[in-house]
């Protein structure tokens, strides 16, 4: 389907070519194995198959392909503007990317702590050296990798993809962009120079807090074929149920993310303005916010953005996740229990709003920090909920 077609249209119709039954809602296929043709003359041994141009509606074994996962990848390939390969989790996708590229060095920021666990695993097996994200260009060599998460977990702060692509390519290195916090419709890393794009599809591709999934996308056909081959033997395929749920969720991806991102921008703007308000009225939200809140972190209010790269990189919004830093650790511990519409849980990207005292799952962060994933609730209800909780904490 042409890339000029709208995102929501592709979410709904990119997989029309796979419709081999009359069901409007794609059926769920749970089988792990599939019958060969009953026509002996039509049987093609594995060694004689053209695996680069196989029929996506024909399957033999679900570790290789299956109806629901093929449909899921077909839609994602259209949305991500590259061949998409799905995995059992986001960390499985990173494992696959490092297996493909096998770098000697990887430049990476603090970001998601799970990625550092995968890097540590490779360091143990291959001697992979970890470098800081701001390392000098000449610290990198041909075949090395920059892993750039943007916006970054847990703060929602963004980095300039083009600048890091230029840095990597000047040394013959590759750029992997983890775009989990900015799904299609908000950010497309390929035109900005990314070599691989990674997503924890558990988040916005799933969108309902009910499936695990990872995705890699590439515009290189040879890489795509190698990733598919590697996945057969690594075995990190998505399950049939998860793939079917993923297809269901992609149908509403754009409208969900647009609403979540708009609500986030409104909430962040309100908090940021209140935090910096002069002479706020007694008893107001502004007074309560200034009493308990130290900072609000999000790409829309990040300081020291030079040039217009951020608006070009994220023209339709800055992502539905942000963080707040309380003045005291006790306040960060207490805030989630005082909220009605934000559920205290890890993860993000679901239709429900979540808040997490981030130290519960990440030992590396400031213990005063809370990560907020905005859902589909009315943003003014979320604002009211936060304002009331801040006032309660201010009165303690």
Paired strand residues for 47? none
In tens digits, what is the pLDDT along the chain, a chain of 396 residues? Answer: 666 789 999 999 999 999 988 999 999 999 999 999 999 999 999 888 876 667 888 899 999 999 999 999 999 999 999 999 999 999 999 999 999 999 999 999 998 999 999 999 999 999 999 999 999 999 999 999 999 999 999 999 999 999 999 999 999 999 999 999 999 999 999 999 999 999 999 999 999 999 999 999 999 999 999 999 999 999 999 999 999 999 999 999 999 999 999 999 999 999 999 999 999 988 899 999 999 999 999 999 998 787 899 999 999 999 999 999 999 999 999 999 999 999 999 999 999 999 999 999 999 999 999 999 999 999 999 999 999 999 999 996
Cβ neighbours of residue 13 under 8 Å, at least 6 residues apart?
A: 1, 5
Give the Cα separation of 327 and 281 in Å (integer): 21
My answer on whether omega of the bond before 106 falls inside 30° of 0, hence cis, is no
pTM for the structure as a whole: 0.95
Specify whether the CB–CB gap between 119 and 130 falls below 8 A. yes
For the domain with range 254-394, which CATH number is right: 2.60.40.10, 3.40.50.720, 3.90.1150.10, 3.40.30.10? 3.90.1150.10
What are the residue ranges spanned by the domains of the chain? 7-252, 254-394
Query: In the structure encoding, which two tokens stand for residue 285, read together?
Result: 């939200």
For the chain, list the strands marked E by DSSP. Answer: 83-87, 105-108, 129-132, 145-149, 174-178, 196-199, 214-218, 293-297, 321-326, 343-344, 354-357, 369-373
Cα 344 to Cα 297, 329, 360, distances in angstroms: 19, 16, 10
Q: Give first-to-last CA distance, the chain, whole Å.
A: 58
- Region of 172 (left: φ > 0; alpha: ψ -120 to 50; beta: rest) is left
Helices then strands (H, E): number in the chain?
Answer: 12, 12
Paired strand residues for 216? 85, 198
**So what's the architecture of 7-252 in CATH?**
3-Layer(aba) Sandwich (3.40)
Count of all residues that appear for the chain in the document = 396
């Amino acid at each position: 389907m042409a890339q000029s077609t709208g995102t929501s249209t592709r979410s709904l119709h990119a997989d029309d070519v796979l419709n081999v039954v009359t069901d409007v809602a794609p059926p769920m296929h749970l089988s792990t194995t599939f019958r060969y043709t009953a026509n002996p003359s039509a049987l093609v041994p594995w060694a004689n198959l053209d695996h680069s141009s196989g029929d996506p509606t024909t399957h033999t074994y679900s570790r290789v392909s299956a109806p629901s996962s093929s449909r899921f990848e077909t839609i994602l390939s259209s949305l991500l503007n590259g061949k998409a390969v799905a995995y059992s989790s986001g960390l499985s996708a990173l494992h696959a990317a490092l297996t493909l590229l096998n770098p000697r060095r990887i430049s990476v920021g603090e970001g998601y702590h799970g990625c550092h666990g995968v890097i540590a695993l490779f360091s143990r097996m291959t001697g992979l050296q970890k470098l800081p994200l701001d390392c000098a260009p000449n610290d990198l060599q041909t075949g090395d990798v920059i892993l750039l998460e943007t916006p970054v977990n847990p703060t929602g702060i963004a980095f300039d993809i083009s600048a890091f692509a230029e840095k990597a390519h000047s040394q013959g290195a590759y750029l992997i962009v983890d775009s989990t916090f900015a799904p299609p419709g908000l950010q497309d890393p390929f035109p900005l120079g990314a070599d691989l794009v990674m997503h924890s599809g558990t988040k916005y591709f799933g969108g309902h807090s009910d499936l695990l999934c990872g995705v890699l996308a590439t515009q290189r056909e040879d890489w795509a074929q190698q990733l598919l081959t590697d996945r057969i033997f690594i075995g990190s395929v998505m399950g049939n149920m998860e793939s079917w749920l993923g297809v269901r969720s992609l149908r509403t991806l754009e409208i969900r993310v647009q609403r979540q991102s708009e609500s986030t921008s409104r909430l962040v703007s309100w908090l940021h303005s209140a935090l910096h308000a002069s002479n706020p009225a007694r008893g107001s939200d502004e007074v309560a916010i200034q009493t308990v809140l130290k900072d609000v972190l999000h790409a829309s209010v990040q300081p020291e953005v030079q040039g217009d790269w951020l608006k070009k990189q994220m023209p339709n919004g800055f992502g539905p996740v942000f963080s707040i830093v309380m003045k005291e650790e006790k306040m960060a511990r207490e805030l989630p229990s005082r909220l009605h519409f934000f559920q205290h849980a890890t993860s993000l990207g679901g239709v429900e709003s979540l808040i997490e005292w981030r130290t519960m799952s990440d030992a590396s962060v400031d213990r005063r920090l809370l990560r907020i994933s905005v859902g589909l609730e009315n943003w003014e209800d979320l604002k009211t909920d936060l304002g009331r909780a801040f006032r309660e904490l201010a009165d303690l």
